[in-house]
Chains A and B, each alone.
Chain A
Amino acid sequence: MSPKDPIINVEDVRFRWPGRASFALSVPGFSVARGETVLLLGESGSGKSTLLSLICGTITANAGQVSVAGKDLSKLSGGQRDKFRADHIGMIFQQFNLLPFGSVFDNIALPLRFSPERRSRVGDVREDARTLCSALGLPDVLTEKASTLSVGQQQRVAVARALIGRPPVIVADEPTSALDEASQSTFLDLLFEQVKAHDTTLLMVSHDPRLGARFDRVVSLRDITQIERRAA
């Protein structure tokens, strides 16, 4: 079930954390099509963070191929991968997404600092950040310190940061786990609205199968990965 135009393609990948012989992850094949929204379901310890790190290029596979937007990440140097990530991927974490001491604006604009490509897609950064914030239902908080915001607001700021400069892929690692059910729903509504509006690919990881209905495709991590565990 490999899509025709995969933006993310993982093939025959094996990865072992250096110094930790007890854990090895292998992914025979996994891909996401351009503009697709995919939910990866998995419990903690199922290797989801490792898989995300591989896709984002902060770690490299020991064997096999990870390509994003047609680029084989293993062919890039460390610095090139960092640049590539800045250009192509907007990242949303579980919680504590923001630099608490920075202003909301600085947090949103941070990826542009590392990606001239994304910077060039944005005219007036402040204006763009303001538009994103209001689209995400945030009050005018650009000059506030990030740590003064509520958790729900912080997660929306993180979405704005991931979206700014329109990277083709958004990777979200359990972004709703810190939110209550009502906020979860609002959060996802706003996220999906933005993703659909700009035809962005969304890869989200969660342990909560109830979220699945909104996504084009739900993949269980157990089906695409094999984990070797040996007694350490």
Chain B
Amino acid sequence: MILRLAIGSLRARGLTVAMTLLAIGLSVALFLGVEKMRTGAKASFADTISGTDLIVGARSGSVQLLLYSVFRIGNATNNVTWASYKDIAAQPEVEWIIPISLGDSHRQFRVMGTTAEFFERYKYRQGRGLELSEGAFFTDLFDTVIGADVAATLGYSVDDPIVVAHGIASFTEHKDQPFRVSGILKKTGTPVDRTVIASMEAIEAIHVDWQNGAQIPGQSTPVDVIRQMELTPKAVTAALIGVESPLQTFALQRQINEYPEEPLLAILPGVALQELWAIVGVAETALLGVSAMVVVTALIGMMATIFSSLNERRREMAIFRAMGARPSTIVGLLVLEAVLTAAAGAILGVLLLYCGLTIAQPMIDNAFGLWLPIEALSLRELWVLFGVVVAGAIVSLVPAVRAYRLSLADGMMVRT
């Protein structure tokens, strides 16, 4: 009966209670949404590259190697000579090896030289492969395949010409050897979206007339001549390696790290990704912190609502008191009310979250390549909801204690 009366009392103050409910619901949805984004982003991030067992580059730090080889952020300190590359490729543990050559750019996007095998070996999000949304993979020397973001930002379609600039953010262009867009990749949510991919040979070809980072003055080898040349790269920036058996990964890693001819570094992408996440994850935690503050604000709002309702409810409390209710019953009533509100708010929040997720999931996947799975609430999220209800109860103790004092002082006299 007390529960029924508490619900009745809440319903009687429907509008303010509905506002409080909405505030709590929205904040809970926001909090859970951010949490979903966070875990989704983390999972997407950890799945940026999968299926690759080792990444090899010149000796530097593992995060740095990961940044430039996978995320195309920053530059390689050094290259790996073609001889070393061939040497590693010849190791019996190596099932496949794909060279990566970086250093040129097109507009704000990096150009990556690689082999056609890249399209088949590069995996992301638990083994998903790269797919074309239109066009074809390389058919000609000067063909490029561009990522979805590149195509969307620059408005390219298949057969459009591309002039590659030497270096990054540079004005010297490889004007003499323009490329053609042969294919556009589907959105992946990985750095591949922001990459212009060309063949190793093409990267070599556009640098035929270049030496020490500058064009040899007056020299311009005609494209026809270049096509006849032996375009073996002199060096690669990094290489992706798949091993025959996962058990050999560590042995091969050590072997490469102790390679006597040249200082090299081999990293396990998963481990390096986690190291990197530890750095960028701080932002996510900050976001989570902010949305937690929003929940706290909503709860304080509820406290304010209860507070402001106290005066108009002194009569209600006097009636309860006259019927023999203890002051503690009054406290219990207010706390019960807050718990009901918070619980209903939490449920509303969950509903809002799932509605939002259902609507936004394909959009977010398209726009950011971020896949947010719609699944049952995790234990952690249930704890969060429970926490909201408990926090609601705790917060309501403040006005409840005031009600306790009021009802002690008022006795049965109703002052309104």
Contact = CB atoms under 8 A, between A and B. Distances in A.
A100 B322 contact: no
Nearest to A86: B324
Nearest to B319: A99
A101 B11 contact: yes
Interface in B394-416: 409, 411-414
A93 B4 CA distance: 23
Contacts of B379: none
A129 B300 CA distance: 41
Contacts, number: 81
Interface string B315-331: 11011111111111100
A49 B8 contact: no
A142 to B, nearest CB: 14
A85 interface: yes
A87 B9 CA distance: 25
B5 interface: yes
Given A86-B324, A115-B324, A99 B412 contact: no
Nearest to A49: B413
A45 interface: no
Interface string A71-100: 000000011001101110001010011111
User: Which interface residue of B1, B318, B414 has the most chain A CB atoms within 10 A?
Assistant: B1
Contacts of A82: 321, 324-327
Given A59-B411, A101-B12, 7 more contacts: A82-B324, A82-B327, A85-B322, A87-B324, A91-B323, A113-B1, A113-B2
Nearest to B328: A79
Most buried by A among B4, B9, B319: B319
A101 to B, nearest CB: 4
Contacts of A114: 323-325, 329
A36 interface: no
Given A59-B411, A93-B414, A102 B8 contact: yes
B411 A53 contact: yes
Interface residues of B, dominant DSSP: helix
Interface residues of A, number: 34
A106 B4 contact: yes
Interface in B1-52: 1-2, 4-5, 8-9, 11-12
B326 A79 contact: yes
A53 B321 CA distance: 11
Contacts of A83: 324
B38 to A, nearest CB: 42
A214 to B, nearest CB: 24
A91 B322 contact: yes
B127 to A, nearest CB: 59
Contacts of A111: 323-324
A102 B11 CA distance: 10
A24 interface: no
A96 B313 CA distance: 12
